[in-house]
Amino acid sequence: DAKTTQPNSMESNEEEPVHLPCNHSTISGTDYIHWYRQLPSQGPEYVIHGLTSNVNNRMASLAIAEDRKSSTLILHRATLRDAAVYYCILRDANNNDMRFGAGTRLTVKP
Amino acid sequence: NAGVTQTPKFQVLKTGQSMTLQCAQDMNHEYMSWYRQDPGMGLRLIHYSVGAGITDQGEVPNGYNVSRSTTEDFPLRLLSAAPSQTSVYFCASSLRGEGAYEQYFGPGTRLTVT
């Protein structure tokens, strides 16, 4: 299974942009790049996903490197409610199961 | 839509006891899965199902059984609980197919085995 590598933790100031990196050098052609986040004492929630092109939605943007070996989740203006663990996951389009890593714990300072 | 529901929210078991964690979804999703999350760790896949009557093992299946008799329900059974199974258990569901679909997670069941 393709694996992802993320920093253990990151800090941001409120209302500033946050760039959360993810490396996935062994990604295969059928792997989608998914991002989920987990707020304290809650189940994970979907943030965004992409295959090859950059993606935007109301929560975030996803920038995917041209060789697909890395990606960056961008929160345009961090709020205190964005403090969470962010997981970058590769999901195979053929079998759909997801393997979580340890994720990045984002702290947002007021 | 209620989404993904899990019962119970909390459970304490003694070593050797058995129990079933319930999971249900009302979104007609074919794909359902169970994860466990130990303190300070990411989620690990226990079992998953791609449709009624079909189940498969994930990363950490030992000590757990699943069945999928309907599209809506995907119960997880602990046959003989052990302290190592103390964890938070999450159920999830999604559409299935060649596209990538978001998974919807339940609120979790916090299990303590003494």
Q: Tens digit of pLDDT for each residue in B94-107?
A: 987 766 678 999 99
Separation of alpha carbons B65 and A85, rounded Å: 29
Chain A CB contacts of B29 below 8 Å: none
DSSP B59: S
How many Cβ pairs within 8 Å bridge chains A and B?
A: 56
Separation of alpha carbons B56 and B49, rounded Å: 6
Secondary structure class of A8 (helix, strand, coil)? coil
Q: What is the pLDDT of residues B11-66, one digit of tens each?
A: 999 999 999 999 999 999 999 999 999 988 889 999 999 999 999 999 999 999 99
Mean of the per-residue pLDDT values for chain A?
A: 92
Q: How many CB atoms lie within 10 A of CB A9?
A: 11
Q: What is the pLDDT of residue B2?
A: 79
Secondary structure class of B25 (helix, strand, coil)? strand
Separation of alpha carbons A28 and B12, rounded Å: 42
Q: Is B74's Cβ below 8 Å from some Cβ in A?
A: no
Q: Identify which of B48, B99, B104 has the shortest CB distance to residue A97.
A: B48
Secondary structure class of B88 (helix, strand, coil)? strand
Per-residue pLDDT band at A83 (split at 50, 70, 90): very high
Chain B CB contacts of A46 below 8 Å: 102-104
Q: What is the pLDDT of residue B100?
A: 61
Q: What is the pLDDT of residue A93?
A: 76
Query: Three-state secondary structure along B27-95?
Result: CCCCEEEEEEECCCCCEEEEEEEEECCEEEECCCCCCEEECCCCCCECCEEECCCCHHHCEEEEEEEEC
